[in-house]
Structure 1
């Protein structure tokens, strides 16, 4: 009697996998984070949409679909970079100490991450980027600082406050001055706070018998 060979059932054809829907919010966030890092590293003029798209793992066409243009992307990236203004809000009496300690806590030297001060420094040479920066700084930092101050010339003092800490961020965080990078953090924070407090407290400058003239040798 001939043996019958058992036949295996033919493999069933599985239905094609459905395409995974794109998470629009996650994609937009990935593009923004890529833009923040790129603008902090190279500034407004030093980076293009293709580079930002590549770092985010998307196409330049998709970047345009979410943001429309590099200018609009810069605006949105700056909003994220300046989103946390809580350090400048609250009790004015401790403002100088809070900010000084936060500035010293930032790592000295070049960083590949998001840095609002480096973003500002690298992008300010572009006229349109500078205009966007002015609006963002005034809205997120200058006005909150000025509203917490007492005395005269509050907007001017708030702008000087920001200019001082931006200079420290430049010298310590970007240029990495050894004297600042290697200084004792506690002593450096105390000295910086002493420089900031007159702007907070609106103490008049001491009068001198004769105005000092500074010659730059030009």
Structure 2
């Protein structure tokens, strides 16, 4: 067996393998994804840092290092959850129609759950979590929607728009009330579109 030159790095053939650098971005992403899933399933009060860390394959200490606290981790989870435009879509002239169609499809029996709504529903009972959610909704969804609405009092109309959307989601998807769950989708879409139109359009 050949002797090694002093200072020569050892390879994987019986020597000491080189240390692998920790991918901090991947670790942070794994923690955030674990947190989003946990808060969506159990709500803010229903899950702790240790459970989130375990599912992410890290220690609780790393969560504190990357996010500072459970509250700050929740705030980032809310930001990440509400940033994508998954239901409210379209410019002012197509907003009512496109959003109504998407809402009916996404709340149909058997459709995948809308995770941001579940995160909101299951965490809103905590006062601080509710403040974080409200801020996230206003910054990501409400402001974006208000910017698309013509006319005055756009922010007020945007929040009414979101209220209709959230109410339909709650009644049809979470509670599964019979009239909405069994409604013919085309007719339901048209009725919801009419409600949205009343908030998009302004008086002339």
- Deviations along 1:35-92, one digit per CA (max 9) or x if unpaired, are 1111111111111111111111111111111111011101111111011137646520
Residue 123 of structure 2 is matched in structure 1 by: 123
Residues 91 and 36 (structure 1), Cα distance of their counterparts in 2 relative to 1, 3 Å cut: same
Match of 1:171?
171
1:29-48 paired onto structure 2 within 5 Å: 29-48=29-48
Residue number in structure 1 paired with 2:82: 82
Greater CA deviation, 122-131 or 109-118? 109-118
The runs of 5 or more residues in structure 1 that have no matched partner are: 1-8, 205-218
User: 2:137, 2:116 → 1: CA distance?
Assistant: 10
Q: Alpha carbon RMSD of aligned pairs, Å?
A: 2.7
The Cα of 1:19 is off from its aligned counterpart by 3.0
- Please list the CA deviations of residues 175-213 of structure 1 after superposition, one character each: whole Å capped at 9, or x if unmatched: 233433343333322221111110111359xxxxxxxxx
**In terms of mean alpha carbon deviation, does 150-159 or 174-183 score higher?**
174-183
Q: Quick check: 1:191 aligned with 2:204?
A: no
Is residue 2:56 matched to residue 1:51?
no
TM value normalised by structure 1: 0.79
Other-structure match for 2:24: 24
**For residues 186 and 114 of structure 1, do their structure 2 counterparts lie closer, same or farther at Cα, with a shift above 3 Å needed?**
closer
> Equivalent residue for 2:15?
15
Q: Which residue in the other structure is 1:159 paired with?
A: 159
Measured in 2, the distance between the counterparts of 1:106 and 1:48 equals 30
Match of 2:99 in 1: 99
Structure 1 contact 37–112 (Cα < 8 Å) conserved: no
User: What displacement does 1:15 show?
Assistant: 0.6
Match of 2:145 in 1: 145
Asked if the contact 1:81–1:114 (Cα under 8 Å) also holds between the matched residues in 2, the reply is: no
Q: TM-score, normalised by structure 2?
A: 0.84
Match of 1:66 in 2: 66
Give 1 or 2 for the bigger CA radius of gyration: 1
Residue correspondences, number: 195
Contact 1:110–1:173, Cα closer than 8 Å, also in 2 = no
